[in-house]
Amino acid sequence: MKFEKIIVDNLKCAGCANTISKNIRPISGVTDIVIELEKSELIIECDDQVDRESLIHKLSTIGYPEQGTSNFRQKATSYVSCMIGKLTD
């Protein structure tokens, strides 16, 4: 097992955290995720076959790219993800 620490952009609330969790937990090899809202930090526990870059890519596609790499489209996507996360919480 390993831990991947990823700091993301656009993490605003529990709805965002819920969306991230729902999209990262199903990835094969991911065993747990801890989300620190105040730090915009994710700590993902996974097996050695899980590639950090694939986690970063998945986060980016749902609007939560690695810190400092966000663009307008990702910010807009994060707002939609945030609302969906709040509705399905």
Mean pLDDT of 51-57: 96
Looking only at the bridges linking them, the beta strands covering 30-36 and 2-7 are unpaired
3-state DSSP call for residue 85? helix
The proportion of the chain whose per-residue pLDDT surpasses 90, expressed as a percent, equals 65
Strand partners, 6: 42
Domain 2-87 CATH class label: alpha beta
Arithmetic mean of pLDDT over the chain: 89
Task: Render 16-84 in DSSP notation, one character per residue.
Answer: HHHHHHHHHTTSTTEEEEEEEGGGTEEEEEE-TTS-HHHHHHHHHHTT-PBTT---HHHHHHHHHHHHH
pLDDT in tens, 33-50: 999 999 999 999 999 999
